[in-house]
Amino acid sequence: MTTKTCLICHLAIASILTACQSAPPPQDMARTTLETAPADLQLMCANSTAGPAGVDNMKILPVGSRAIDAQTYNVELDANGRKFNCVIDTAGNVRAVTPAT
């Protein structure tokens, strides 16, 4: 075998072995290590940000969220290019909407 053929064989074997690896269990996945706000709370924050942002709520996109504590979330929003933070509790009460710094 030539060096080129041998290299192609090694690449083929490596790709086959990589394809055979299974995904990590859910508790080991990065997304499950951070509790995100439920979608309905993120949308409530988007609607509440429309006024302070001076932008139609259809142009506000939740781009991230995290739990602050067991009852409260921080939702990061993009309002037509401007960044905002919204603090909302699990009952849907918006506690604060502030421009991101």
Residue 80 inside a domain? The answer is: yes
Q: Specify the higher pLDDT residue, 30 or 88.
A: 88
Q: Specify the higher pLDDT residue, 27 or 59.
A: 59
Residue 90 inside a domain? The answer is: yes
Q: How many CB atoms lie within 10 A of CB 26?
A: 8
Residue 3 inside a domain? The answer is: no
Burial class (CB in 10 A: 0-12, 13-18, 19+), 81: exposed
Residue 87 inside a domain? The answer is: yes
Residue 36 inside a domain? The answer is: yes
Residue 9 inside a domain? The answer is: no
- Mean pLDDT of the region 77-96: 97
CATH number of 87's domain = 3.10.450
Task: Note the pLDDT of residue 101.
Answer: 82
Residue 14 inside a domain? The answer is: no
Residue 63 inside a domain? The answer is: yes
Choose among 36, 77, 73, 38: nearest CA to 57: 77
Count the domains in the chain. Answer: 1
pLDDT in tens, 36-54: 999 999 999 999 999 999 9
Residue 56's domain spans which residues?
A: 28-99
